[in-house]
A and B are shown apart, each in its own frame.
Chain A
């Protein structure tokens, strides 16, 4: 056999390289997927514009956009981590991709680490796009808000990734698609993520404080707007 002769002993690429490669591969796959891009970027931008031209957030802060942006960033994390990863993983599971990758040097741990990395990479792009659009719309972020804000966003992404993988690992991919999209709409609209709890109907207010969406939305606003 030519160049492909059986080698002495094969070795895996380094752990860091394997995880980086998988993160890059998954992030590019996500960015090439049209539906995912709509969910990750287009809908949050529409929501951002919507909140600046409607009076929902009036009286809550210095300006509508200043109150809106932290919640929109939280929505971005939910899009990518929960709905995006949930759906992608659900179908990867159906097609045996997870099992195949588990037999390569990547392994289960590397696969999950790669997913975390890809979520963070896409989230960075979302923060830049949403941030630039918000600045153009007159957003004035507080400098002190960025550090806790980004840390909270990463934490929220980790929690939502775990929830997305939980759904993907439990039900069929079609059901994952339905559940994660439905929850995205419900939590996005009524879960305290973009619209603060006090502006929601009384019945919703009671449960928002127990939801991950409420926790991320409220803490993001607290970080960027100062304690409520």
Chain B
């Protein structure tokens, strides 16, 4: 896919985020994002794929202006989210990982309230009908199922008809039916020109939704491309027990992993951390000369 260089909705360059000082680190700062860069376009779904703790949510929250970055630059619709005002926030929809919904609230009054914050909100009945919220519109949030909460959080993110939509783990807690409903809506929004940025730890989600994927691990970019491109990097057809996967290994720095594993692409984004993409089984474990171990895996279907 061609990544057109003109006016991305979001561009992040060399993002750095330190947290702390942490008592567990003798009062030192911990670098949770160290140099993530990405670009998200209008009319596309851009996915940040990675294991839990990879730095996806922190990256997103810096882009949303919820966290202050420690370094690097972010441009969201041409503005810096750290200093932008209500004008920018009205053009951006956010669905947080933990929902952000008050347990005592009821869906319909809550959505009506949030809609009032925008000049031209999405007509409430239409949005509520599309996401099937009308069946539980008067049940308090604390009584909703995980999938119902997730759909409500999505509605809250969409009520302002944003140009950019952030979804943090949108399929978490969704039953298969809700998942289909939500995925169909995301595809429709994408086709209508919305720029959508989502995080997921499931390659399956990325494969179904994403036009472009950034694989993040240890707070860094380790791979990127269209799903097709990421899959085509494998010389072996996707069948049997071996599938195209990206596995991340930790081992002594400077090892020649490509010599240990056949037919794979290896990169070492930082010393001692290897990203290996190719036809691998989940249990793939190279016979290291001096005892490295697999640290995390991102598993395509």
Give the interface of A toward B (CB within 8 A): 1-7, 9-13, 15, 17-18, 21-22, 25, 29, 32-33, 91-92, 95-97, 99-107, 110
State the total of A-B contacts with C-beta under 8 angstroms: 118
| Nearest neighbor of B158 in chain A, beta-carbon distance | A4
The 5 closest A-B pairs by CB, nearest first: A100-B100, A96-B100, A103-B94, A12-B90, A11-B119
A99-B89 contact given A7-B120, A13-B119, A17-B116, CB 8 Å threshold: no
Q: Would you give the 0/1 interface string for B113-157, flagging 1 where the beta carbon is closer than 8 Å to chain A? A: 110111110110011001000000000000000000000000010
- Judge whether B199 is part of the interface by a CB distance below 8 angstroms: no
**Chain B's nearest CB lies how many Å from the CB of A8?**
9
- Cα separation A97 to B66 with both chains bound (whole Å): 12
- Cα separation A92 to B96 with both chains bound (whole Å): 14
Complex contact B118–A105 (CB within 8 A):
yes
- Cα separation A92 to B85 with both chains bound (whole Å): 22
Complex contact B99–A96 (CB within 8 A):
yes
Complex contact A105–B94 (CB within 8 A):
no
- Cα separation A105 to B102 with both chains bound (whole Å): 18
Per a CB cutoff under 8 Å, which of B86, B116, B122 touches A4?
Answer: B122
A4-B89 contact given A10-B120, A100-B101, CB 8 Å threshold: no
Complex contact B117–A4 (CB within 8 A):
no
- Judge whether B6 is part of the interface by a CB distance below 8 angstroms: no
Give the interface of B toward A (CB within 8 A): 64-66, 85-87, 89-92, 94, 96, 98-105, 113-114, 116-120, 122-123, 126-127, 130, 156, 160-163, 188-189, 191-194
Q: Which residues of B contact A12 (CB under 8 A)?
A: 86-87, 89-90, 117-119
Q: Which residues of B contact A1 (CB under 8 A)?
A: 188-189, 191-192
- Cα separation A2 to B160 with both chains bound (whole Å): 15
**Chain B's nearest CB lies how many Å from the CB of A24?**
8
- Cα separation A106 to B114 with both chains bound (whole Å): 9
A10-B94 contact given A4-B123, A96-B100, A105-B118, CB 8 Å threshold: no
A18-B86 contact given A12-B117, A95-B99, A99-B66, CB 8 Å threshold: yes
Per a CB cutoff under 8 Å, which of B91, B114, B123 touches A9?
Answer: B91
A100-B116 contact given A10-B91, A12-B87, CB 8 Å threshold: no
Q: Which residues of A contact B87 (CB under 8 A)?
A: 11-12
| Nearest neighbor of A96 in chain B, beta-carbon distance | B100
A92-B102 contact given A1-B192, A4-B126, A6-B163, CB 8 Å threshold: yes
Complex contact A103–B64 (CB within 8 A):
yes
A97-B192 contact given A4-B123, A17-B116, CB 8 Å threshold: no
Complex contact B90–A11 (CB within 8 A):
yes
Per a CB cutoff under 8 Å, which of B85, B96, B189 touches A96?
Answer: B96
| Nearest neighbor of B85 in chain A, beta-carbon distance | A107
- Cα separation A196 to B244 with both chains bound (whole Å): 77
Q: Which residues of A contact B127 (CB under 8 A)?
A: 4
Complex contact A104–B117 (CB within 8 A):
yes
- Cα separation A95 to B116 with both chains bound (whole Å): 22
Q: Which residues of B contact A15 (CB under 8 A)?
A: 86
